Amino acid sequence: MESSRRIYRGSVKRKPACSEAYQPPWQACQGAFMKLACIGPLRPSRTGVADFTENLLPFLADRCEIELFTDGYAPSESPISQRFPVGDIGEFIRSAFRFDGVLYQMGNHYRYHRAVFEALVRVPGVVMLHDCVLNQFFGKYALERGNFGTFRNLFELCYGRQTAESELASFWNAHGDPYRFPMAGAIARCSRGTIVMSEYGKDIVLQEARETPVLKVNFPYFGGPGAPAPVNDFRRKFNVPEGAFIVASMGHMTPAKRIHVAVDAFQELSAKYSNSLFLLAGETSSRYPVIDRIRRGSFPNVVYLGYLTKSELDALMAVADVCINLRYPSTGEMSNALIDMLGCGKVVVVSNHAQFTEFPDDVCIKINLGPRERDDLASELLKLASDDARRSSVGEAARSYIASEHSPEAAAEAISQFIAEHSRSEPLLSPGAMKVLLAPDAPMKRYKQAFAYNRKRFSSFFNEYGLAHTMRTAIERMRARTNAKSPKACG
């Protein structure tokens, strides 16, 4: 057995200093297994990046010897944590010399990815970008450190001094548009290579870091034959009647998911088909009051189910007749829920925008943005409700396309080869240069900047949502930050 898995560990005489660019000893050779460190969030963190990582690991394990590192908490008792060694990110930084390659899983959620970014700065590796709009991540990173100089330096790195001087004032006033200035280049420049899952995301990275190596892989579909979804239990628990026409939306509910448009369009369907139900599942954003209105029963036949377990999500997908996955603006990410819906042969309605334009037209229903978005969506829902043959045809085209183009084996092979090819590539920006960019401002300047920014942000939030909602949100965020610092919060 050992001969079929020849593991080459290399030889290292010393541990490199954190300010030096770490050079892995491993070189790609036929039949060799590289020792790979995977850094990022794991379950039970409620983030799609954790789900993606744990789903991909078994396929990477056929090609690499893997150790996992996450941010200061014990992962859930799952087959993944029992199969792979799991350590803290700080431990990885101290022992990075043991590994032949490093794969970082990077998203835009500050709480889950702050430590990932800090490890990347100290020990460069290949980064898998799950979101390509990282402006708000860096904004929070600067605020947490009380250091607007960090944000200014990274912004200037991506767009130049002239653009920084003309645009940064809007961010100081809490009115900047993060989608105009994604800042993915800051991550790409301190990595050995960048992996994205859409051509749209690839373009964002290359616009800000033209010389960086970039690999685009299709988001893998991890579904397939398995235990039957507990449909009957699901129907009983959530009071979903047999024979109802089910429209479903799954994932983190933020304003960009355009749930308000979908709910408005569904009202037209509900008026004609009284047995129709719109079921929503996933975490919610405090910045999205439409979910509160749904909870209060403001919309007939629209039900928010909350955060569901994996088996409950499978059951929801099984009973759904049509799924809605709108998105604007886009951060360049590919939706795990969308790939699952298509892979299951569901009819999915998407926004005809950004990465979703990359799907063939016969695989999903595309809705144009603009003044007719709501009307076009309502029209498509009415057509789909009355046309079983069309739903079947679109669903089968989706299933076939995902099966042929979104293989996890192909993704794992491409990722492992890319890491092997670039394990010795020099980052565009050395760890020493990044350390200078992240250097803090003088203490008094930091305090003044943080106070001015938060005062303006609080005022903007108060004017939009009122005092009660603003105070409730502030308290919830303080509690979330406190819980995040406690190891018990995540397991």
Please give the full DSSP string across 441-466, using - where no structure is assigned. Answer: PPHHHHHHHHHHHHHHHHHHHHHHH-
Is residue 83 classed as helix, strand or coil in its secondary structure? helix
Structure tokens at 431: 């760890």
Asked if 431 and 117 touch (Cβ cutoff 8 Å), the reply is no
User: How many other C-beta atoms are found inside a 10 Å radius of the C-beta of residue 91?
Assistant: 12
- Residue recorded with tokens 């893997």: 66
Q: Give the per-residue pLDDT at 169.
A: 77
Tokens of 137: 């991540």
Mean residue pLDDT across the chain = 84
Q: Mapping DSSP to helix (H, G, I), strand (E, B) and coil, where does residue 123 land?
A: coil
Query: Confidence band (pLDDT; 50, 70, 90) for 408?
Result: very high
- Band (102; pLDDT cuts 50, 70, 90): very high
pLDDT band at 145 (very low <50, low <70, confident <90, very high): confident
What average pLDDT does the segment 435-448 reach? Answer: 72
Determine if the pTM surpasses 0.85. Answer: no
User: In this structure, what DSSP letter does residue 253 have?
Assistant: B
Among the residue ranges 332-336, 354-358, 438-442, 453-457, the one predicted with the least confidence is 453-457
- How many Cα atoms sit within 13 Å of 42 on the Cβ side? 28
Check if the beta carbon of residue 213 is closer than 8 Å to that of residue 193: yes
Type of residue found at 459: S
User: Measuring CA to CA, how many Å separate 398 from each of 99, 143, 223, 249, 323?
Assistant: 39, 43, 13, 17, 12
Q: What are phi and psi of 67, to 5 degrees?
A: -125, 145
pLDDT greater than 50 at residue 2: no
Q: Count other C-beta atoms under 10 Å from residue 97's C-beta.
A: 16
pLDDT of residue 47 exceeding 90: no
pLDDT > 90 in the chain, percent: 58
Helix residue spans in 386-442 (DSSP H): 388-405, 408-422, 431-437
Q: Pick from 162, 30, 81: which is nearest to 491 by CA?
A: 81
Q: Which residue has the higher pLDDT, 331 or 481?
A: 331
Tokens of 118: 């800090």
Q: How many CA atoms lie within 13 A of 419 on its CB side?
A: 28
User: Higher model confidence: residue 286 or residue 366?
Assistant: 366
CA–CA separation, 307 and 250 (whole Å)? 9
Query: CB within 8 A of 201, min separation 6: which ones?
Result: 129, 132, 184, 216, 332, 333, 334, 355
Closest listed residue to residue 251, CA positions, set 134, 371, 331: 331
Q: What are the pLDDT digits (tens) for 243-254? A: 999 999 998 888
Local confidence band at 394 (pLDDT 50, 70, 90 cut-offs) = very high
> Per-residue confidence at 232, pLDDT binned at 50, 70, 90?
very high
The pLDDT score that the predictor gives to residue 491 is 36
pLDDT tens track for 306-353? 989 889 999 999 999 999 999 999 888 888 899 999 999 999 999 999
Q: How confident is the model at residue 480 (pLDDT cuts 50, 70, 90)?
A: low
Contacting residues for 57 by C-beta, under 8 A, at least 6 apart: 38, 66, 68, 80, 83, 84
Cα 134 from chain centroid?
Answer: 11
User: CA 119, CA 111: separation in Å to the nearest integer?
Assistant: 14
Contacts of 163 (CB under 8 A, 6+ apart): 155, 156
Query: Which of the four pLDDT bands, split at 50, 70 and 90, describes residue 488?
Result: very low
pLDDT at 367: 98
Q: How confident is the model at residue 225 (pLDDT cuts 50, 70, 90)?
A: low
Residue 485 has pLDDT above 80, yes or no: no
SS3 state of residue 106:
strand
CA 322 to CA 373: how far, in whole Å? 17
Instruction: Evaluate if residue 135 carries a pLDDT over 50.
Output: yes
